[in-house]
Amino acid sequence: MIYQSLKEKQRQERENLILQATQELLLERGYFDTSMGEIALRVGVAKGTLYQHFESKEALMIALFKREFEDLQSETARIAQMQEGAQVKLSMAIDELCHQLVDKHPLFFILRHAADLETEVHAEIKDAFATVRKNIAAILDQGKEEGLFNTALSTEVMQEALFGIIVSRLFKNLHQGLSVQYEDLVDNLKCIYLHGITAPAATA
């Protein structure tokens, strides 16, 4: 029994190395110019060993995205369960969403140019992304209960507005080279989402 547990641990460690090497090569060469042979060479295993873990390059790509979204799922769940006010938690969740998008944006760009693969990836990450949305919704509902957020607004619409702001603005900044620095951009997005674009009330 102990032997089986150790064997499974070693298998998991090897799969993590394979996924890391795959990500590195994808970012260096792109999806179509990355081969299973190159991935095996980067990891330092035989090509046959690689196929024992993943049956194809497509399966590797799907596993890579699934891992990333499961990490995001875990992190947003951790934030949602914290003993903090909703505004603090939402600010942290936005930071995490932006970080994930910026850190992985070349992978998303690759995915958008592999239409067949994109469909498969979306099917595999559907449950994880649904949980991320559920975690964000819980924070928004907490804010309504605390009297911080407008209870007349639909939580679903608030959620869609948040994802829309993050995805559209960050991708434009990444691909069109806006002059705003990343940290300032995220702060601006949080301000617009949480407070709108009206000037703050003057203090007496």
Q: What is the pLDDT of residues 77-93, one digit of tens each?
A: 999 999 999 999 999 99
Collapsing DSSP to helix, strand or coil, 114 comes out as coil
pLDDT tens figures, 123-149: 877 888 899 999 999 999 999 999 999
Q: Looking at per-residue confidence, does 105 or 22 come out higher?
A: 22
Rounded Cα distance, 81 and 4, in Å: 34
pLDDT, average across residues 144-163: 92
Collapsing DSSP to helix, strand or coil, 190 comes out as helix
pLDDT tens figures, 42-58: 999 999 999 999 998 88
pTM for the whole structure: 0.78
1 has pLDDT over 50? no
Average per-residue pLDDT in the chain? 83
**What DSSP string describes 52-103?**
HH-SSHHHHHHHHHHHHHHHHHHHHHHHHTSSS-HHHHHHHHHHHHHHHHHH
Write down all domains in the chain, each with its CATH number in brackets: 1-55 (1.10.10.60), 57-204 (1.10.357.10)
